[in-house]
Amino acid sequence: MKVVIDTNVIVSALLSSNGKPAVILDMLFNDEIQVYYSDNILSEYKDFLTRPALDIKLEKAIRFFEILKNIGIYTKQTVSTISLQDEDDRIFYDTAKQNNAILITGNIKHYPSENFILTPSDFLKMMWNKSI
């Protein structure tokens, strides 16, 4: 399953080992999903994961980046012209759209209503229904 993961999901997963974002990150670590990223996404991840106010343990952030670079699929991002509520979200939308991937986000209201954009909860429901 090809996915693009919004920063808010990664931050939530690294801050708490409980919850749906953590399950999704475990799926990435266990090579159950294939994550796509671009330079802009990598840059945003680095910016947020190193913010002192978030207090994310350095070891967790380092492990995430190592795994992302080892098993993630790097892609050059094209830029769409679709109107978005928050322009900072364009990097995730465009990367998912151009790679026919699922965009997993906790900020679904920031995106247009499209079937490839899912909350962590909806993504896990979809994955668990596939395995039944």
Judged against a pLDDT cut of 50, whether residue 4 lies above it is answered with yes
Residue 103 domain boundaries: 2-130
Residues across the chain: 132
CATH code for the domain in which residue 20 is found: 3.40.50.1010
For the chain, how many structural domains are there in total?
1
Region 35-45 average pLDDT: 96
The pLDDT tens digits for 86-117 are 888 999 999 999 999 999 999 998 899 999 99
Region 67-93 average pLDDT: 90
Burial zone of 77 (CB within 10 Å; 0-12 exposed, 13-18 middle, 19+ buried)? buried
